[in-house]
Amino acid sequence: MTSASDVLQRVIAERRDMREGFRPDPVDDAVLTRVLQAAHRAPSVGLTQPWDFLVIRDPARRARVRDLAERQRAAYAASLVPARAARFDGMKVEAIREAPVNIAVTCDPTRGGRNPLGRATQPQMAPYSVACAVQNLWLAARAEDVGVGWVSFFDERELAAELGLPAHLEIVAYLCVGHVDAFPPAPRLALSGWARRRPLAWAVHNETYGHRGLPGEETVNLIDETVAAIGPLDEAAMRDARDHQARLTKPPGSLGVLEELSVRLAGLAGQCPPPLPEPAAVAVFAADHGVHAQGVTPWPQEVTAQMVANFLAGGAVVNAFARQVGAEVSVVDIGVAAELDAAPGLLPRKIARGTADMTQGPAMTPDEARRAVETGIEIARDLVSAGARCLLTGDMGIANTTASAALIAAFTGLPPEQVTGRGTGIDDATHARKIDVIKAALARHGLPRDGADPLEVLAAVGGLEHAALAGFILGAAALRVPVVLDGVIAGAAALVAGAIAPDALGACVAGHRSVEPGHSATVAHLGLRPLVDLELRLGEGTGALLALPLVQGAVRVLHEVATFDSAGVSGKRPGE
Do 379 and 487 lie in one domain? The reply is yes
Task: Assign residue 76 the CATH number of its domain.
Answer: 3.40.109.10
Do 31 and 109 lie in one domain? The reply is yes
Element (H, E) at 394: strand 390-396
Mean pLDDT of the 421-436 span: 90
In this structure, is residue 141 part of a structural domain?
yes
pTM over 0.85: yes
- Using CA atoms, how far residue 368 sits from 256, 372, 465, 472, in Å, is 42, 6, 11, 16
pLDDT at 113 over 90: no
The strand pair at 147-151 and 170-178 is best described as: antiparallel
User: Which of 169, 195, 221 finishes a domain?
Assistant: 195
Do 321 and 441 lie in one domain? The reply is yes
What's the pLDDT score for residue 425? Answer: 82
What's the pLDDT score for residue 328? Answer: 95
Do 180 and 264 lie in one domain? The reply is no
Do 287 and 173 lie in one domain? The reply is no
User: Which of 195, 213, 240 finishes a domain?
Assistant: 195
What's the pLDDT score for residue 567? Answer: 67
Task: Assign residue 493 the CATH number of its domain.
Answer: 3.40.50.10210
In this structure, is residue 240 part of a structural domain?
no
Helices (H), 199-299: 200-203, 222-228, 235-247, 257-269
> How many degrees, rounded to 5, is the angle at CA 423 between CA 419 and CA 429?
85
Structural domain boundaries, residue 265: 258-560
Give per-residue pLDDT as tens, 451-497. 999 999 999 999 999 999 999 999 999 999 999 999 999 999 999 99
Q: Which of 364-373, 454-463, 464-473, 562-571 has the lowest mean pLDDT?
A: 562-571
Pair 304, 336: CB distance under 8 Å: yes
Residues for the chain: how many in total? 576
What's the pLDDT score for residue 572? Answer: 58
User: Which of 149, 175, 195 finishes a domain?
Assistant: 195
Mean pLDDT of the 87-106 span: 89
Quick one: DSSP state of residue 402? H
Do 263 and 410 lie in one domain? The reply is yes
Do 46 and 148 lie in one domain? The reply is yes
Do 187 and 264 lie in one domain? The reply is no
Q: Which among 492, 270, 510, 306 is positioned nearest to 397, based on CA atoms?
A: 306
Element (H, E) at 483: strand 483-485
Pair 287, 398: CB distance under 8 Å: no
The strand pair at 346-348 and 327-335 is best described as: parallel
pLDDT at 322 over 90: yes
Distance CA 359, CA 444 (A): 7
Mean pLDDT of the 109-137 span: 86
- Using CA atoms, how far residue 163 sits from 98, 148, 262, in Å, is 19, 20, 54
pLDDT at 348 over 60: yes
User: Is 104 in a helix, a strand, or coil?
Assistant: strand
Residues of the chain with pLDDT > 90, as a percent, come to 78
Do 266 and 178 lie in one domain? The reply is no
Give per-residue pLDDT as tens, 158-171. 999 999 999 999 99
In this structure, is residue 335 part of a structural domain?
yes
In this structure, is residue 54 part of a structural domain?
yes
pLDDT at 570 over 90: no
Do 297 and 446 lie in one domain? The reply is yes
In this structure, is residue 572 part of a structural domain?
no
540 included as an active-site residue: yes
Element (H, E) at 509: strand 508-510
At 185, is the pLDDT very low, low, confident or very high (cuts 50, 70, 90)? confident
Pair 40, 109: CB distance under 8 Å: no
In sign, the C-alpha dihedral spanning 54, 129, 209, 217 is negative
In this structure, is residue 234 part of a structural domain?
no
pLDDT at 576 over 60: no
Distance CA 23, CA 93 (A): 17
Do 185 and 291 lie in one domain? The reply is no
What's the pLDDT score for residue 574? Answer: 54
Marked catalytic residue, from 98, 170, 540, 576: 540
What's the pLDDT score for residue 564? Answer: 79
Do 304 and 419 lie in one domain? The reply is yes
Higher pLDDT, 90 or 70: 70
How many domains is the chain partitioned into structurally? 2
In this structure, is residue 567 part of a structural domain?
no
Q: What is the mean pLDDT of the chain?
A: 93
Distance CA 245, CA 47 (A): 67
In this structure, is residue 204 part of a structural domain?
no
Higher pLDDT, 17 or 331: 331
Q: Which among 345, 351, 338 is positioned nearest to 464, based on CA atoms?
A: 351
